[in-house]
Structure 1
Amino acid sequence: MRLPTMSGHFLLAPIPESSSDYPLPKDIKLAVLGAGRVGKSAMIVRFLTKRFIGDYEPNTGKLYSRLVFVEGDQLSLQIQDTPGSVQAQDSLSQAVDSLSKCVQWADGFLLVYSITDYNSYQSIRPLYQQVRKVHPDSKVPVIIVANKGDLLHARQVQTHDGMQLANELGSLFLEISTSENYEDVCDVFQHLCKEVSKLHSLSGERRRASIIPRPRSPNMQDLKRRFKQALSSKVKAPSTVG
């Protein structure tokens, strides 16, 4: 399943220096979760710089910030890379719990596994469950990404397995190759940005709709003036003779 290309609506630019000419941008906070050596850092750097940095994760735990434009709206994008400690089943729950603060912080999530590592695929479900545990009443968007799609000779996870898991969890799914296809990497982040932005807009509309205008307080001076006028008119009114 391939997400629709939206490259024409998304532009990356350096964050400008503080200036009164720039309106404060909306914030979009994304977290990239997954086991070690699945290519999380490589995906982030490829998206932001179009460069492929190799099959290792030198920037684990780093927070990336960029200014982006989503269909004409200026957004401040932050992407949190996370430790790749979610691997072995015996330490899985502990590793997932350690990500709670990051999960609570983020507005949208990429859950990444490698098609060459079945254990990384198995880590996706508990990661997804952790996201929904922290955001129980939220529709926070989640995309499941199968990375290293070019290494077909070493495949351990079939495409239909990823699609089936995504369908069970109610999530979007995309299989990509960070090293070979920049457009697919870009599509993943762009689509997630758009979904988070859409969610923010809906939340803002709900908040505005829930605000009932406060009734204006009566002007006491005006009431006193009207009361005096009413009394005065009664005193001046001529009496009728029967």
Structure 2
Amino acid sequence: MRLIHNMSSIAECSGPEPSPSSRVIKITVVGAGGVGKTALIVRFLTRRFIGDYERNAGNLYSREVQVEGEQVAIQVQDTAGVQMTDNAVGLPDHVTCSVQWADAVVLVYSVTDRGSFDQIERLHRQVVHAGEPAAPPVILLANKADLLHLRAVDAQQGLLLAASLGCAFYEVSASEDYDQVHGAFHRLCCQLAKQPALPPGPGHAPPATEKRRSPLIPRPKSPNMQDLKRRFKQALSAKVRTATSV
């Protein structure tokens, strides 16, 4: 694995280029601070888990792998923790730049941090807005599933939220289960690899609206999306009532 650059903006990226024969897949990972974004990326690319990391400075990681028989260069952009508040009108500039650069975005929350979960819906709206007119596909990743005694978000709540947003959903443990983490990222890479590669060179680049004409990850089929949203709100209300009664 190569750490390409320590940066705050994709536009400043420099370092080793992928092999000419390699397809490049670009993924940006976004979420609140402390949810384990860096741990997930390193676990996926190296199989290793490292519990302590320095404060995220916006590292871009790269590794060449085989995806369904094709040599692929995977570039994963780590981002500093995002805190969405009532006063926040959008994503920080470096995160917006990362979203616009990416082929797909992974939204991460921790099952032990209710606040990181509560801000996902707003983060998703901002990611879609930043990627307009052709927003990148998004998946939702819940980390720290091994910390059962600290759990603050049920798996069902994550599933319902992902369904309401039209995202694929995975609940994983970066510290204890490499296969879960690898499976989530690998399935995303497989889907991206199936998309037609863009011709090289600015002269051959298609318009932004052509880049992702078809959604990569289809919205889950549901007879009634309003019902899913209603169930999601009920689950949140039940959680609040339980906490209040205790």
TM over 0.5: yes
Secondary structure in 2 aligned to 1:125?
Answer: helix
Secondary structure in 1 aligned to 2:153?
Answer: coil
Aligned-partner Cα distance in 1 for 2:105–2:168 = 11
Aligned-partner Cα distance in 2 for 1:87–1:177 = 22
After TM superposition, the score normalised by the length of structure 2 is 0.68
Q: Give the letter aligned to residue 23 of structure 2.
A: K
What is the aligned partner in structure 2 of residue 150 from structure 1?
146
Cα separation, partners in 2 of 1:200 and 1:135, compared to 1, 3 Å: farther
Which ranges of structure 2 fall in alignment gaps of 5 or more residues?
Answer: 5-15, 200-205, 211-246
Q: Is the 8 A contact 2:145 2:173 kept in 1?
A: yes
What is the aligned partner in structure 1 of residue 118 from structure 2?
122
Aligned-partner Cα distance in 2 for 1:57–1:143 = 26
Identity %: 47
Cα separation, partners in 2 of 1:99 and 1:38, compared to 1, 3 Å: same
How far does the alpha carbon of each residue in 1:174-233 deviate from its partner, in whole angstroms, 9 at most, with x for none? Answer: 1111111000010111111112222345x77xx8xx9xxxxxxxxxxxxxxxxxxxxxxx
Which ranges of structure 1 fall in alignment gaps of 5 or more residues?
Answer: 1-11, 211-242
What is the aligned partner in structure 1 of residue 22 from structure 2?
25
How far does the alpha carbon of each residue in 1:62-95 deviate from its partner, in whole angstroms, 9 at most, with x for none? Answer: 00011121111111111000001x2352454454
Q: Give the letter aligned to residue 190 of structure 2.
A: K
Aligned-partner Cα distance in 2 for 1:151–1:93 = 33
Aligned-partner Cα distance in 2 for 1:156–1:169 = 21
Aligned-partner Cα distance in 1 for 2:54–2:39 = 7
Larger Cα-atom Rg: 1
What is the aligned partner in structure 1 of residue 172 from structure 2?
176
Which has more helix, going by share of residues? 1
Aligned-residue offset at 1:140: 2.8
Secondary structure in 1 aligned to 2:83?
Answer: coil
What is the aligned partner in structure 2 of residue 113 from structure 1?
109
2:34 pairs with one of 33, 37, 57? 37
What is the aligned partner in structure 2 of residue 9 from structure 1?
none
Cα separation, partners in 2 of 1:91 and 1:118, compared to 1, 3 Å: farther
1:1-242 paired onto structure 2 within 5 Å = 23-54=20-51, 56=53, 58-84=55-81, 86-87=82-83, 89-90=85-86, 92-96=88-92, 98-138=94-134, 140-201=136-197
Aligned-partner Cα distance in 2 for 1:56–1:93 = 29
Q: Is the 8 A contact 2:127 2:135 kept in 1?
A: no
Aligned-residue offset at 1:24: 2.8
Aligned-partner Cα distance in 1 for 2:79–2:71 = 26
Secondary structure in 1 aligned to 2:156?
Answer: helix
Aligned-partner Cα distance in 2 for 1:120–1:57 = 20
After TM superposition, the score normalised by the length of structure 1 is 0.69
Aligned-partner Cα distance in 2 for 1:35–1:120 = 6
Q: Is the 8 A contact 2:129 2:135 kept in 1?
A: no
Cα separation, partners in 2 of 1:129 and 1:112, compared to 1, 3 Å: same
Cα separation, partners in 2 of 1:99 and 1:82, compared to 1, 3 Å: same
Aligned-partner Cα distance in 2 for 1:58–1:97 = 18
